[in-house]
């Protein structure tokens, strides 16, 4: 695994473009929470696939389509590269690994699971986070495989809409797994591990931030072991998708947080195109 390019953001995030043995490339993001405001302060966001087959309209990876799954060694290798080349490698250990880079991790479940087990045994990392569009059967596999272990996996559901009809416009997999089924699986996951599942909700201007969206989300999530994580859409120059402004995000949060446990997401690496939905396969000439 070879580093082709490294970019450092204003918030000290480090984005790596890595070349695999077959010539394909992936991107990985190291995030350093210098102010120690978040749960984890030194995290690596890894890719699990080359490209992605989910076709989410807002995602740079999804626009490129699916090439192949990464192996366990290629997933762990991203953490090894960050550990050997990041600016503070000798002073600050990695305390969590996030599966929210390129690809849908639950569609490469066996290699992702193997990578988690290796990182726990070899690197001593016990805290993980996994973002998924909601592959319902695999959520139940996570419960079966990790309940009762000393490994913590914080589940993130990429919802980004308040109804199935709305979500189908940006996340095609909604045709297979409805929001009701996804939230039911997420509830079962939360109960099994005694945690709250994080529901990710990017705001797009004039699309999913209206009063009716707040009402539908409240009906869907109120009283459930969930935490709504609200953020701006990261600009990917996709026609028809415009990020909501910061004031719109704050107003949405102030309204919905009266009914649902909510938080405004701190987005790392957006100035170097390392934010959620911005990682992609890139060729360097």
Catalytic residue among 14, 27, 104, 129: 27
Task: Give the tokens for residue 84.
Answer: 């050997």
| Contact (Cβ atoms closer than 8 angstroms) between residue 27 and residue 280 | yes
Instruction: Let me know if 273 is exposed, middle or buried by CB neighbors in 10 A (0-12, 13-18, 19+).
Output: buried
Task: Give the tokens for residue 161.
Answer: 């809409």
Task: Give the tokens for residue 40.
Answer: 């984890």
Catalytic residue among 52, 56, 82, 276: 276
Query: Is 276 in the active site?
Result: yes
CA distance 162 to 60: 22
Query: Is 56 in the active site?
Result: no
Closest Cα partner for 57 from 243, 261, 238? 238
DSSP 108: G
CA distance 283 to 285: 6
DSSP string, 11-28: TS-EEEEEE-TTS-EEEE
Closest Cα partner for 276 from 45, 10, 35, 78? 45
Instruction: Give the start-end residues of each E strand in 179-237.
Output: 197-203, 226-232
Pair type for strands 262-264 and 197-203: unpaired
| Contact (Cβ atoms closer than 8 angstroms) between residue 114 and residue 70 | no
Cα dihedral across residues 186, 187, 191, 196: positive or negative: positive
CA distance 174 to 256: 23
Helices 211-221, 179-193: inter-axial angle, 10-degree rounding: 50
Active site residues: 27, 276
């Amino acid at each position: 695994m070879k580093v082709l390019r490294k970019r450092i953001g204003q918030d000290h995030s480090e984005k790596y473009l890595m070349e695999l043995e077959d010539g394909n490339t992936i991107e990985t993001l190291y995030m350093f929470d210098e102010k120690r405001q978040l749960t984890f302060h030194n995290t690596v966001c890894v890719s699990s696939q080359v490209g992605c087959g989910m076709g989410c309209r807002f995602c740079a990876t999804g626009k490129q389509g699916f090439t192949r799954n990464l192996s366990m060694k290629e997933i762990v290798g991203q953490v090894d590269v960050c550990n050997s080349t990041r600016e503070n490698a000798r002073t600050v250990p990695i305390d969590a690994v996030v599966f929210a880079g390129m690809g849908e991790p639950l569609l490469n479940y066996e290699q992702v699971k193997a990578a988690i087990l290796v990182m726990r045994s070899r690197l001593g990392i016990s805290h993980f986070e996994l973002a998924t569009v909601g592959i319902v059967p695999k959520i139940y596999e996570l419960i079966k495989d990790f309940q009762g272990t000393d490994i913590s996996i914080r589940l993130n559901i990429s919802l980004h809409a308040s109804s199935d009809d709305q979500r189908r416009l940006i996340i095609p997999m909604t045709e297979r797994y409805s929001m009701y089924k996804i939230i039911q699986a997420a509830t079962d996951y939360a109960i099994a591990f005694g945690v709250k599942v994080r529901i990710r909700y990017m705001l797009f201007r004039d699309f999913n931030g209206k009063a009716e969206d707040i009402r539908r989300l409240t009906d869907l999530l109120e009283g459930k072991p969930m935490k709504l994580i609200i953020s701006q859409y990261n600009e990917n120059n996709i026609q028809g998708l415009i990020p909501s402004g910061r004031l719109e995000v704050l107003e949405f949060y102030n309204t919905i947080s009266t009914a649902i446990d909510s938080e405004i997401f701190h987005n790392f690496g957006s100035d170097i195109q390392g934010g959620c939905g911005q990682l992609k396969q890139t060729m360097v000439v």
